[in-house]
Amino acid sequence: MTKQLARVGWALVMLLAFTLLQTSAANAASRIIPIECGKDIDAVINTDPVGTGTLFRLTGDCHDERQNPQPFTASATIQPKDGDGIICSIPATLNPLPLSNSPGFFAYDPETHCTINGASGVTQVIKPQGLFYMNGIMVTGGTFTGAAATGVGIAEGQMDNDSVVRGSVVRDTQGAGISNAHGFHHQIELTNTTTNPNALGFIGSGIKGINEFNIQYSYVHDNQGNGIWCDVYCTDQTSAQFSSFHAKFNLVVNNGRAGIRWERIGDFGGASQANSGEAIIENNELYGNGKDTTRGAIDIRDAQDALVQNNYFRSNWGGIAIRASDSGRSDRPDLDNIDIVNNILNREQLKGCELPDNIVFCLGNIP
């Protein structure tokens, strides 16, 4: 057994910690500015002074004169500043999706009443700076140019680790739904991302990070690439609230590649990557993933230091529930220190358990 198991006690206090965290993030704003239907949203938010901590409150259910739904159009990237937030005047309806293997727990499918759409040519729709809070917003658009971090709904590379995105939807992006993820993602929906196939294998995903982040109680489905992806060392992050990449209680369905992918993380070539992160992937349900490219529903590739426990699988393409594999490439970490325990496979395959226990340890998985 590995150091990931020692982290489980910490994970059990996360729900209380998260409640306190989202309250703190939401209350960071010192004033509220309403943005009414038809306003130039990027102009209002981007010209707000630094250091004010503003909560921007969008008018919900905007319509034109014929009562057709109208989004707020971002003609340029929206850049909320440190301490800012964006909410809808009408809270999202959170539709619960029961989790078969976790009685009393749910993923959620939010129905939002405010939409921000990136105009054609806007490569990143929202790019938060510092501490950020968002609740009840749908984000669409993001033009992929072939460059990294383009075609993105929310680009989180400069977002603080204690930020919270809650009760929101990111969809219909050409690249990733959320890129360079940081912070907490709670009760969100990610769908129909990577509509440009050139982004596949590059940034194509519902959510992708190269730093540790958290996603929980969320519905990640029908994305062309991976659903949830941490890559390129998934670097350790400093936060009072989490100490690993943590994906839990998510419903992950019908993604073209892996449902959850943990890739290229750890030491390699004799070089110590002391800042590489660790993963806890637990209590997720994964159905119908890998329909376009053979992957495990949970796919661990050239990576180390992950605990995969209490997940539930059904009807994934190729019949692969969990795959832990090593490409043998010298420029990537060797597979090592992976624990796969107490998962319900429903007759799907578990690949990697044939390796020595110090590389892949398997226990209590129900065929």
Lookup result for tokens 């499918």: 109
Q: Among 210, 305, 289, which residue's Cα sits nearest to residue 256? A: 289
3-state SS class at 20: helix
Q: Say whether pLDDT at 241 is over 90.
A: no
- Is the pLDDT assigned to residue 10 strictly greater than 60? no
CA distance 248 to 70: 34
Q: Shortest CA distance to 85 belongs to which of 183, 209, 16?
A: 183
Residue 77, SS3? coil
At residue 198, the 3 state secondary structure works out as helix
Would you say residue 152 has pLDDT above 80? Answer: yes
The SS3 call for residue 72 is: strand
Average pLDDT on 66-72 reads 93
CA distance 236 to 323: 24
* pTM (predicted TM-score): 0.93
pLDDT at 217: 98
d(CA 335, CA 264): 9
Percent of the chain whose predicted confidence (pLDDT) is above 90: 85
d(CA 350, CA 348): 7
Average pLDDT over residues 130-152: 97
What pLDDT shows up at residue 271? 55
Flag whether pLDDT at 185 surpasses 90. yes
Provide the pLDDT confidence category of residue 125 given band limits of 50, 70 and 90: very high
- Which pLDDT band, with edges at 50, 70 and 90, does 27 fall under? low
How many other C-beta atoms are found inside a 10 Å radius of the C-beta of residue 199?
A: 26
Q: Name, of 29-38, 64-73, 207-216, 261-270, the range with top average pLDDT.
A: 207-216
